[in-house]
Amino acid sequence: MRVIHPIADKLVAQVKARGGKSVPIADFLDFGPRAAVDQALSRLVRQGTIRRVGRGLYAWPQYSTLLNQMVVPSPDDLARAWARQYGLRIIPSGAYAANLLGISTQVPAKIIYYTNGRTQTVKLGSHSVKFLNRGPKTMDVTGQVAPHVFQALRYMGANGMTPSVIARLRRLLKPKDKADLKLNLRRATGWMKPLIESIAQEDAN
């Protein structure tokens, strides 16, 4: 049944445009007063048009025929939507960053992010995510992927960054990501610099 509400169509379009990604309520507030947005979102959730995947977080329903169940947004997606909700910056910690980059198959027992906000543990969907406050040395690394690489290197260590791991990252990173790595090179410690330079090279293949 179609929802009749002055802003419902705009809310649905915003969530649908993000696909399976989580959308924080902050992204809806330009569509009307907070009370009206809350009412419309609640109605859409009750009707199953959209899903509430966390406190103040919404997503487009996605069903997996393979798993025979609804697909839940990843912890990383939820954490990023939560951070956007509060205007915070977050960077996955070493073990989780390495896992997200695909250079470590080990799934961390605890999901930890570094942030410029306060230290706290937040329940996001079925996940308990810890956010640890960190200063400029960690948080000033810029770019979308460069912070992940810095944290992964710290976790893997010099011995863990084998030629195959470096080659994998080199293939994975886009030219923009490699450019960001070069821009942040001055923030790297001595042993990390040659590894970052190697990763930032264009892949011959």
CA 105 and chain centroid, separation: 18
Q: How far apart are CA 79 and CA 15, in angstroms?
A: 17
Same domain, 35 and 93: no
Q: How far apart are CA 70 and CA 75, in angstroms?
A: 15
pLDDT at res. 166: 95
Contact (Cβ atoms closer than 8 angstroms) between residue 105 and residue 99: yes
Write down how long the chain is.
205
161 in the same domain as 97: yes
- The total number of structural domains that make up the chain: 2
Is residue 95 assigned to a domain?
yes
Cβ within 8 Å of residue 139, ≥6 positions away: 89, 91, 114, 115, 116
pLDDT at 1: 43
Whole-number pLDDT of residue 177: 96
Q: Which of 64, 83, 105 corresponds to the end of one domain?
A: 64
Q: Examine residue 161 and state whether it is found in any structural domain, yes or no.
A: yes
One domain, residues 52 and 150: no
Tokens 């007063």: give the residue. Answer: 33
The per-residue DSSP string of 138-171 comes to HHT--SSSHHHHHHHHHHHHHHH--HHHHHHHHH
- Is 54 domain-assigned? yes
pLDDT value of residue 21:
84
Pair (82, 54) in one structural domain = no
87, 51: one domain: no
Note whether residue 97 is domain-resident.
Answer: yes
Contact 73, 53 (CB under 8 A): yes
User: Along the 205 residues of the chain, how does pLDDT read in single tens digits?
Assistant: 444 567 888 998 888 888 778 999 999 988 888 999 999 999 999 988 888 888 889 888 876 565 556 667 889 999 999 999 999 999 999 999 999 999 988 888 899 999 999 999 999 988 899 999 999 999 999 999 999 999 999 999 999 999 999 999 999 999 999 999 999 999 999 999 999 999 999 765 5
Domain-embedded: residue 70:
no
Establish if 138 belongs to a structural domain. Answer: yes
Left if phi > 0, otherwise alpha if psi is -120 to 50, otherwise beta: which for 194? alpha
Residue 2, phi-psi category: left (phi > 0), alpha (psi -120 to 50), beta (remainder) = beta
Distance CA 146, CA 196 (A): 10
59: containing domain:
8-64
- How many other β-carbons are positioned within 10 Å of the β-carbon of residue 97? 27
Whether the CB-CB separation of 85 and 26 falls below 8 Å is answered with yes
pLDDT given for residue 3 in this prediction: 47
